[in-house]
Amino acid sequence: MEIWINPDCSKCRSALSVLDAEKAEYTVRRYLEDPPDEREIREVLTRLGLEPWDITRTGESAAVELGLADWPRTPESRDRWIRALAAHPILIQRPIITADDGPAVVARTEEAVRSLLPPR
């Protein structure tokens, strides 16, 4: 599995702690240093079953500067949102874990992290 993190984020550090405690095999992607492109964002959204506005950190200063609060949340505006996430990766909710077998979660809780781990 792969986990997209910001090392300064407490939720990311918590998710890593759960993965380590469970001896899970994973790859860390510091998505601010190695940002996903539009194709990768689309793929993750499909795996999450979410829309781009669902994983957007609207409280970030970049979101305010872009005026995201006023952007429509419609199928027609989807590409615009994805372009914004690719151009400003700080706007992507974190951490996101993608499992090798397909599923993905926004892993902000221990339960979400554990949902991708094999049962004990």
Active site residues: 9
Q: What one-character-per-residue DSSP string does 12-53 give?
A: HHHHHHHHHHTT---EEEETTTS---HHHHHHHHHHHT--GG
Structure tokens at 66: 């872009």
CB distance 56 to 68 below 8 Å: yes
CA nearest to 31, candidates 77, 103, 76, 96: 96
Taking the alpha carbons at both ends of the chain, their separation in whole angstroms is: 18
